[in-house]
A and B are shown apart, each in its own frame.
Chain A
Amino acid sequence: MRRAFVALLLAAALPGAPPRFYDDDPLLAEPPPRDASQAQRRKLSDYYDFFHHLLATPGEKGPSPAQAVNTLGDPMDGAWYERRHYWKRMSIEELQRGPIRVGPPSRAARWRVVGVKNEGVTPGFQIRDAENRLYFVKFDPLCCAEMATAADQIANKLFYALGYHVPENHIVYFTRDDLEVAQGVQMEDALGRKRVVTSRDITEILLKVPRDSQGRYRATASLALPGKPLGPYRYYGTRSDDPNDTVPHEHRRDLRALHVASAWVDHDDSRAINTLDILVEQRGVKFIRHYQLDLGSTLGSASTKINSARSGGEYLFAWKPAAVQFVTFGLAVPYWAKAYYPNLPSVGRFEAKVFDPDKWVPEYPNPAFRNRLPDDEFWMAKQIVNLTDEEIRAIVRSGQLSDRRAEEYLADCLIERRNKIGRAAFHKVLPLDRFRFEGGALKWTDLAAQHGYGGVGAVDVLWHRFDNAAGKAEPAGALDPDWSRGYWMAVLSARARPGQRIRVYVRGGAEPRVVGVDHEWPNRVR
């Protein structure tokens, strides 16, 4: 701690050391991307990803502050993330629409099946509609009609509202007669042998799919993302062929904080395989945009079956819990095994009573999640709690569950889990945000108080003059800040939260502006 402090001072004192704030801070959007058209598609190995993360610990470790953020601590709009609902409240309709810009597959003609996946338990198709748009069609497992498709739809909309790039997914209903096989389409059997798809193949595949009371099949139709797919991104390191990818992924705030969002919707499958890099073109520049994909394995769904009770509670394997179970003959019952799940097949296993956001883990270690710090959690939690009960219920309705009880239960769980996330994250750092300069004074919102989690009470403010070039702060004493020039730093603290502080930086001028926010908590390493 002391060494880090000295290093900081030395760095600040060195000639040529960059100032703490530049004139364009805080940057709300990343600078226009560089051309990345030379990036090539590469496929990762799921097996390797599993064993590598389970047995090794890839990526840089350590409690270093998150990167790829502006001076307010927010990731900038760009290839990874966009500031959405928290910064500009979306209407109910916008939340329900999410990423939808094009629409579901056209009904003007039968859908042409141009690709078939018949491996595993749950099959899938690729179809082209009358307008030649390509969609990936995925189904629910036989055990649980509506479960995976609803989970995908709901989590997709939630992740969109939280700022992530997600594909445009639709719930569609169709009959066998709505499909026809395009000529010469090939499929692989379980052994990788190719053969031409026949109409009978489609019929047989649909035998593995549940039908509704009207005999229709229900599916998620995911519009192919525009651009060239390059394969998944990893949760550590950077792409070596992308000039815009400069921050190791395990240090990106948007990926570290994804832990909290994943915990909320129980996205235990949050690993490389469920992400996708797409080479897109905007304003004549080709660059890589990073997507979250395949959210059908969220909420109570494991895509091809009901979620395991273990989901989110423990890694698939970890030495210590396994040793405890082994030596206690299972008498040490893990907390997650005690959860109660109502019998709602279209929900699967999802609950909020034993859910603990601090204990939640994905199926196997995720380097970005592992590096998360309290301010990363706070950043995501503030977005999650910003979604009201009504907004959450509206998004859950987009899952089109036919069982009203299931819909209500899912929404209730998400609301309760949201509140647990808020309480946990807001307890670790001072939950003050939305800093602004109004009426000649610094204002803020106590998010804990606003959302009913118990506010922090009286906040003490200690103003400092801030030397931006040297990075040094000096107590202003009894003087009132002179807002007309220079930089000022307020240190906010609350008696009820010892050790927790926020440094808020204000740039003086004709219109003083908050340019920096920095949370502190006990034992923070800077």
Chain B
Amino acid sequence: MAAQAQEPTSRAEAIEKERDRKAAELRPETLSRAEQTLRDIQDKKLLERFSYGYNGLRAAIGNMATGSGFAIGPEFNREDLLRGHLTTRITALVSTRRWQKYESEIGLPRLANGQLTLGFHALHRNYSSVDYYGPGPDSGKGGRSTYRFEDTRVSAGGGWRPVRLVRLAARSGYVWTNVGPGDRKGAISTDRLFTERTLPGIERQTNFTENSASFQLDWRDDPAGPKTGGNYVIQQTWYSDRRFSRYGFRRLDLDVQQYVGFFNKTRRLAFRAKAALTDAGGGQTVPFYMQPAIGGADDLRGFRPYRFSGPNAMSLTGEYRWEIFSGMDGALFADAGKVFPRRGQLNFSNLESSVGFGLRANARNRTFLRIDVGFSHEGFAVFVKFNDVFQPRPFGVSQIPLGY
């Protein structure tokens, strides 16, 4: 009877009884340890602080050069000076193959309401074992040698955006170069295979003044992770030999990117055509270490890095990319390219080719990690990179040799 007496006699009473039960067990809301930790990471902006570093001092990862191995080092990066009107970045990177790269930039990116930019750039690289397979398109895979490449560059320049899609830029600077014996185990040093006569620049290196002018038309929907639109760049650079008056040359770079998105941009076709054409003229010659090279993570991906090197180079890349899920894209690609001795040979004959597939991890529409596997008649190559395959080069910066 007592039990029955406690039974509710109305719906409201039944609800109240439930509340009674709950009221007897009330306790403060608590979060699991995992949730607390994640909340604190978010609240205290630990990821942002890690990314920003201590007063701008942070770890830089990757972004050295194809073939360098995994690179890491300290970086001082401030984009908030003078309320964002002054930026500065100083980086020191060392890779697992003991390559070194030191770089410094100071920029004024928001002059004239963002229409005008000015910047200063300094760079020192010491790459101890750059692969070299011999000059021209007929080099063999077995002819690999290595050399040490060192250069120091300083330059200053500016960019002007007269209208939204167009940018003009000019830059002037000075380049010190040095080449030495490569130090990779099991690989012969390039200077033991070639002489100055067969490979200009192997014995004597020089200093250059470097002046460039460029034009860019960019109508990509999102330059950091484009899905539609195009980006077209043409740049002319004049290198003048300041020591021997023997290695001066001009270099013309063309870079055409086109993106076609379909099925609401969940699938894309991405195309890139690149060409680097040099012209020494007047009894001068282009030193081998300043010649464009193809092969590696960004163009002929079925070949080893710097597999082909010559006075002129062109490459064509086509990718089909599709969304696997919102943070991951797949890619099927085909690459073609060649190096050639004369500008007149800029055509589609005698192209080397490779095909492959890849995965790209994205965050906020930016690729932060990609894995590409390329296949060619010379075998296959796997590349793990922390950038987009068509990574935009800091615009207005000189076209730095070693790939292009």
A48 to B264: give the CA distance in the assembly, Å: 30
Q: Produce 1/0 per residue, A322-345, CB < 8 A to B.
A: 100110011001100111010000
Contact A316 B45, CB 8 Å, known A22-B11, A240-B27, A330-B267? no
A341 to B266: give the CA distance in the assembly, Å: 14
Check: A18 CB closer than 8 A to any chain B CB.
yes
The number of residues on chain A lying at the interface, defined by a beta carbon within 8 Å of a beta carbon of chain B, is 60
A1 to B3: give the CA distance in the assembly, Å: 30
Check: B342 CB closer than 8 A to any chain A CB.
no
**A40–B29 touching, CB < 8 Å:** yes
- Choose among A25, A51, A246, A326 the residue that contacts B11 (Cβ–Cβ < 8 A): A25
Q: Which of B195-203, B327-335, B381-389 contacts A (4 or more CB under 8 A)?
A: B327-335
Instruction: Report A270 CB to chain B, min CB distance, Å.
Output: 17
Chain B interface bracket (under 10, 10 to 19, 20 to 34, 35 or more): 35 or more
Q: Which B236-287 residues sit within 8 Å CB-CB of chain A?
A: 263-267
- Among B9, B36, B42, B326: residue with most chain A CB under 10 A: B326
- Choose among A27, A246, A317, A341 the residue that contacts B18 (Cβ–Cβ < 8 A): A246
- Choose among B8, B19, B30 the residue that contacts A34 (Cβ–Cβ < 8 A): B19
**A27–B11 touching, CB < 8 Å:** yes
Identity of the chain B residue whose Cβ is nearest the Cβ of A38 in the assembled complex: B26
A22 to B15: give the CA distance in the assembly, Å: 12
Instruction: Report B118 CB to chain A, min CB distance, Å.
Output: 21
Check: B10 CB closer than 8 A to any chain A CB.
yes
- Choose among A42, A191, A242 the residue that contacts B45 (Cβ–Cβ < 8 A): A191
A34 to B17: give the CA distance in the assembly, Å: 12
Identity of the chain B residue whose Cβ is nearest the Cβ of A340 in the assembled complex: B264
A38 to B29: give the CA distance in the assembly, Å: 11
Report B-chain residues with C-beta under 8 Å of the C-beta of A44: 31, 35, 39
Contact A243 B23, CB 8 Å, known A192-B45, A308-B326? yes
Identity of the chain B residue whose Cβ is nearest the Cβ of A309 in the assembled complex: B264
**A18–B26 touching, CB < 8 Å:** no
Q: Which of B145-153, B317-325, B393-401 contacts A (4 or more CB under 8 A)?
A: B317-325
**B42–A191 touching, CB < 8 Å:** no
- Choose among B3, B26, B263 the residue that contacts A243 (Cβ–Cβ < 8 A): B26
A242 to B326: give the CA distance in the assembly, Å: 37
**A16–B7 touching, CB < 8 Å:** yes
Check: B4 CB closer than 8 A to any chain A CB.
yes
Check: B44 CB closer than 8 A to any chain A CB.
yes
A422 to B332: give the CA distance in the assembly, Å: 43
Check: A204 CB closer than 8 A to any chain B CB.
yes
Report B-chain residues with C-beta under 8 Å of the C-beta of A498: none
Instruction: Report A22 CB to chain B, min CB distance, Å.
Output: 4
Check: A184 CB closer than 8 A to any chain B CB.
no
Report B-chain residues with C-beta under 8 Å of the C-beta of A314: 325
Contact A326 B330, CB 8 Å, known A46-B42, A47-B42, A243-B23? yes
Check: A186 CB closer than 8 A to any chain B CB.
no
Instruction: Report A384 CB to chain B, min CB distance, Å.
Output: 26
Instruction: Report B130 CB to chain A, min CB distance, Å.
Output: 35
Q: Which B1-57 residues sit within 8 Å CB-CB of chain A?
A: 3-4, 7-16, 18-19, 21-23, 25-32, 34-36, 38-39, 41-45, 48-49, 52
**A310–B43 touching, CB < 8 Å:** no
- Choose among B12, B35, B324, B325 the residue that contacts A45 (Cβ–Cβ < 8 A): B35
- Choose among B10, B44, B324 the residue that contacts A326 (Cβ–Cβ < 8 A): B324
Report A-chain residues with C-beta under 8 Å of the C-beta of B185: none
Check: B83 CB closer than 8 A to any chain A CB.
yes
Which secondary structure dominates chain A's binding surface? loop
**A240–B29 touching, CB < 8 Å:** yes
Contact A329 B322, CB 8 Å, known A22-B14, A44-B35, A192-B45? yes
**B29–A42 touching, CB < 8 Å:** yes
**A317–B22 touching, CB < 8 Å:** no
A241 to B19: give the CA distance in the assembly, Å: 12
Identity of the chain B residue whose Cβ is nearest the Cβ of A231 in the assembled complex: B29
Instruction: Report B375 CB to chain A, min CB distance, Å.
Output: 16
Check: A244 CB closer than 8 A to any chain B CB.
yes
Q: Produce 1/0 per residue, B278-315, CB < 8 A to A.
A: 00000000000000000000000000000000000000
Q: Produce 1/0 per residue, A285-317, CB < 8 A to B.
A: 000000000000000000000001110001011
Q: Which A316-370 residues sit within 8 Å CB-CB of chain B?
A: 316-318, 321-322, 325-326, 329-330, 333-334, 337-339, 341, 349
**B38–A47 touching, CB < 8 Å:** yes
Identity of the chain A residue whose Cβ is nearest the Cβ of B80 in the assembled complex: A189
- Among B34, B49, B324: residue with most chain A CB under 10 A: B324
Check: A480 CB closer than 8 A to any chain B CB.
no
- Among A30, A51, A240: residue with most chain B CB under 10 A: A240
Contact A45 B31, CB 8 Å, known A18-B7, A329-B322? yes
**A15–B19 touching, CB < 8 Å:** no
Identity of the chain A residue whose Cβ is nearest the Cβ of B23 in the assembled complex: A243
Check: A43 CB closer than 8 A to any chain B CB.
yes
Check: A31 CB closer than 8 A to any chain B CB.
yes
Report B-chain residues with C-beta under 8 Å of the C-beta of A308: 326
**B263–A333 touching, CB < 8 Å:** yes
- Choose among A39, A192, A317, A337 the residue that contacts B266 (Cβ–Cβ < 8 A): A337
Report A-chain residues with C-beta under 8 Å of the C-beta of B48: 190-192
**A310–B324 touching, CB < 8 Å:** no
Check: A281 CB closer than 8 A to any chain B CB.
no
Check: A245 CB closer than 8 A to any chain B CB.
yes
Check: A228 CB closer than 8 A to any chain B CB.
no
Identity of the chain A residue whose Cβ is nearest the Cβ of B36 in the assembled complex: A45
Check: A93 CB closer than 8 A to any chain B CB.
no
A273 to B328: give the CA distance in the assembly, Å: 25
A70 to B14: give the CA distance in the assembly, Å: 12
Report B-chain residues with C-beta under 8 Å of the C-beta of A45: 31, 35-36, 38-39, 42
Instruction: Report A352 CB to chain B, min CB distance, Å.
Output: 15
Report A-chain residues with C-beta under 8 Å of the C-beta of B265: 309
- Choose among A30, A321, A349 the residue that contacts B325 (Cβ–Cβ < 8 A): A321
Check: A239 CB closer than 8 A to any chain B CB.
yes
Instruction: Report A522 CB to chain B, min CB distance, Å.
Output: 30
Identity of the chain A residue whose Cβ is nearest the Cβ of B4 in the assembled complex: A16
Report B-chain residues with C-beta under 8 Å of the C-beta of A70: 11
A158 to B128: give the CA distance in the assembly, Å: 66
Q: Which B328-351 residues sit within 8 Å CB-CB of chain A?
A: 328, 330, 332
**B10–A23 touching, CB < 8 Å:** yes
A-B contact pairs, 25 of them (CB 8 A): A22-B8, A22-B9, A23-B10, A24-B11, A31-B12, A31-B16, A38-B26, A45-B35, A45-B36, A48-B34, A192-B43, A192-B44, A239-B29, A240-B26, A241-B26, A241-B28, A243-B23, A309-B263, A310-B266, A316-B326, A322-B325, A326-B330, A330-B322, A330-B324, A337-B263
Using A18-B7, A38-B26, A42-B29 as known contacts, list a sample of 4 further A-B pairs with CB atoms less than 8 Å apart, ordered by residue number in A: A45-B38, A240-B30, A317-B327, A322-B328
